[in-house]
Amino acid sequence: MPSNKSVSDAPIAQFTNCRILRDRRLQREDLWVREGKILNPEKLFFDEKGSADIQLDCKGSIIAPGFIDVQINGGFGVDFSMATDDFKSGIDLVSQKILSHGVTSFCPTLVTSPPSVYHQVLPQISVRNGGAHGAGILGAHLEGPFISKEKKGAHPEHCIRTFEAGAFQDLLATYGSLDCVRIVTLAPEIKRSSEVIRELTKRGICVSLGHSVANLSQAEEAVQHGATFITHLFNAMLPFHHRDPGIVGLLTSDKIPAGRRVFYGMISDGIHTNPAALRIAHRAHPTGKAIPVLGPAVGLAAKLPRRVCLPSSGLVLVTDAIAGMGLAPGRHTLGQQVVEIDGLNTYIAGTKTLSGSVATMDACVRHFLEATGCSVETALEAASLHPAQLLGIEHKKGTLDYDSDADFLMLNDSLYVQATYIAGEEVWRQDVLGM
């Protein structure tokens, strides 16, 4: 039926026979798209008297917002921490390849590196929209070098630094430029980290705690100064201790400023975290309602913090994928190090120290679903809504709400990606014959 639209002549696509993730649950609803954004069909019907130009039968698929990977070090032979001549084509290759994993936006991540690497690489990373050429780039994630030597993991010790006299100036000099930086991971126990955290937060950069031996109060202080993320929870930090839970204690801390949520990244590749630990984190920080303390503070209540909250979940799935992801087992580089891939395990060559993963985002989502027994909605949100909320972009990414960017996936019931869409255009489709 011909459309009669008063607002725009752009074609309208209606995706039918699907279940979409909206308002936190899977619903039998059609998805409408126009000009790269999710369209409100009711408004179209009543205000514009418009209707769809194309109807696409999704054959019962699940439609979810595109995945957002905020920690990915490279893949398919490309290492984001290596300053090569063809760095740009490397990042283009990865952004194109990860479309098949359901990733529509990502933060290319650099591990601890010497300043020269930052100075050469960062200017070559630009924030850009995704499309047929590949997933969108939200900005760089700089994991290090201001981390703890004791929790370096696979990061090269000789590049690890503390804040010199200038603190924030020192950080600026190390990185060269913060123009396209979206996230910085640092260890809050480093002297003068508080002011650095405040400066970064002021500039809209998300500060994450990781590769650290901080105790809980140091971590809480960092959160009070603006930190909002924990880099791969459990890995490269002090283990939970009942008298000092360390960074892990942020999951249930009562010192989080009101209205703030602390997010935590998890590599759910089945290697980095035991499924039981995944479940502990998920259950301690489940999707739930905040319970504010109501009424006057009388008696015992006067001694308690005014908000005793079960915050809604801040779990963010990340891949922490390295150059070897997507390649055959064997040796690959990760920044200044050589790593060895054996199946799903990646170690610093010759050791048993884990170094990144070769998991893909969709595999992480499936593993998380299976290990925690959570709902499909929760698993999907951990890879889409929560990273969007972490970066403060949930008004346009990470959801299928009206007017948000039409970056979405078609998945089967087992959460295998069948097709990837960016700005309403199909940018990848599962080959029916292949895998």
Annotated binding site for substrate: 154, 235-236, 243, 272, 354-356
Nearer to other proteins (CB atom), residue 50 or residue 188? 50
320 catalytic, yes or no? yes
Cβ-contact 168, 201 below 8 angstroms: no
Q: How far apart are CA 302 and CA 8, in angstroms?
A: 57
Cβ-contact 416, 410 below 8 angstroms: no
| Main-chain phi, psi angles of 427, to 5 degrees | -110, -10
Nearer to other proteins (CB atom), residue 1 or residue 294? 1
**Residues binding other proteins (CB under 8 A):** 1, 4, 30, 41-46, 48-51
Show the tokens assigned to 10.
């752009």
Show the tokens assigned to 376.
């499909």
N residues, the chain: 435
Shortest separation between residue 128's beta carbon and other proteins, angstroms: 34
Tell me the binding residues for Zn(2+): 143, 211, 232
| Catalytic residue, candidates 69, 320, 405, 407 | 320
Nearer to other proteins (CB atom), residue 44 or residue 103? 44
Q: At which residue do the structure tokens 């809604």 appear? A: 312
Shortest separation between residue 5's beta carbon and other proteins, angstroms: 10
- Cα angle: 16, vertex 17, 23; to 5 degrees: 80
Q: How far apart are CA 225 and CA 217, in angstroms?
A: 12
Contacts of 31 (CB under 8 A, 6+ apart): 14, 15, 18, 20, 38, 63, 400, 408
Nearer to other proteins (CB atom), residue 50 or residue 210? 50
Show the tokens assigned to 179.
């123009």
Burial code (b: 16+ CB inside 10 Å, e: under 16) for 142-176 equals bbbbbbbeebbbbbbeebbbbbeeebbebbeebbb
Tell me the binding residues: 143, 154, 211, 232, 235-236, 243, 272, 354-356
Residue positions annotated with a catalytic role? 320
